[in-house]
């Protein structure tokens, strides 16, 4: 979808070549590299270019993804792709949502973040609804200010204790619908095929590549 206002515009295509992945999260960068690999794109991370991390002041996943992509494109002079994603828990009113990374604290301690989710569910009682979903918003920005964005999601159920050492973030807590393994236990090629990020990437690839 075009991120610019006014009448609907044609989707801009992304030419092969260098693309900044506007993230300092190694797990996200690794997944995005794997997803872009077959499409003639040469990804370089914001960390590799020593680009700063902007303050995420948006109130939605899309808004935060867009501000990260715009800054990276402005500073690098290259097209930039940013991801903003998080875990939304039905019984917690959609939290942690856009604050998913902040629940992990300054040290990015996702064991702590998962414990916080569990503590809040336990406070609601043993019958607390454990439905949850991951959301991923992708924003693709060009140095001239044009932006396209895409949003994907995957639903599932939370488990406790966390299971599996694969993936990253809240993955060991989340069992997607129709599966018995958490994202933290699952073969990562399978995760990449069914995740919220994969859903958003399918839309991006169909539109701009």
pLDDT digits (tens, 9 = 90+) for 11-30: 889 988 899 999 888 888 88
Q: Which is the catalytic residue, given 83, 84, 171, 199?
A: 84
Mean pLDDT, rounded, of the chain: 92
Q: What is the pTM of this model?
A: 0.88
List the one residue out of 7, 176, 50, 28 whose CA is nearest residue 100: 28
- According to DSSP, the residues that pair with 23 across neighbouring strands are none
DSSP per-residue codes, 10-44: PPPPPPSEEEEE----HHHHHHHHHHHGGGTEEEE
Q: Which residue has the tokens 């077959």?
A: 38
Q: Is 119 one of the annotated active-site residues of the chain? A: no
Between CA 102 and CA 67 the distance in angstroms is 17
CA 165, 36, 4, 151 torsion: positive or negative? Answer: negative
- The reported pLDDT for the residue numbered 16 is 85
A 10 A CB-CB count for 204 gives 22
Token reading at 174: 């989340």
Q: Structure tokens of 62?
A: 């899309």
Report the alpha-carbon distance of residue 72 to residue 46 in Å, rounded: 7
Mean pLDDT to the nearest integer, 54-75:
95
**Which residues have a Cβ under 8 Å from the Cβ of 145 and sit 6 or more positions away?**
70
Q: Measure the CA angle with vertex 84, ends 149 and 152; round to 5°.
A: 55
Is 9 a residue whose pLDDT tops 60? no
Q: Say which CATH architecture domain 17-208 belongs to.
A: Alpha-Beta Complex (3.90)
Tokens of 181: 């393994």
Q: How confident is the model at residue 153 (pLDDT cuts 50, 70, 90)?
A: very high
Per-residue pLDDT at 141 exceeds 50: yes
């Amino acid at each position: 979808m075009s991120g610019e206002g006014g009448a609907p515009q044609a989707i801009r295509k992304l030419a092969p070549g260098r693309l900044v992945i506007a993230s300092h999260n190694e797990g996200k960068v690794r997944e995005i590299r794997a997803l872009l690999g077959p499409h003639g794109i040469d990804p370089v991370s914001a960390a590799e270019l020593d680009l700063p991390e902007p303050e995420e002041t948006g109130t939605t996943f899309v808004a935060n993804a867009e501000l990260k992509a715009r800054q990276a494109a402005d500073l690098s002079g290259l097209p930039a792709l940013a991801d903003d994603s998080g875990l939304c828990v039905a019984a917690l009113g959609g939290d942690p949502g856009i604050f998913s990374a902040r629940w992990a604290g300054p040290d990015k301690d996702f064991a702590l973040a998962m414990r916080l989710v569990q503590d809040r569910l336990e406070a609601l009682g043993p019958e607390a609804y454990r439905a949850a979903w991951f959301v991923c918003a992708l924003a693709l920005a060009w140095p001239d200010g044009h932006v396209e964005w895409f949003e994907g999601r995957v639903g599932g159920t939370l488990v406790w204790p966390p299971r599996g050492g694969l993936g990253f973030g809240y993955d060991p807590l989340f069992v997607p619908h129709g599966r018995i393994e958490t994202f933290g236990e699952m073969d990562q090629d399978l995760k990449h095929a069914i995740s919220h990020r994969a859903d958003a990437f399918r839309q991006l690839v169909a539109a701009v590549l």
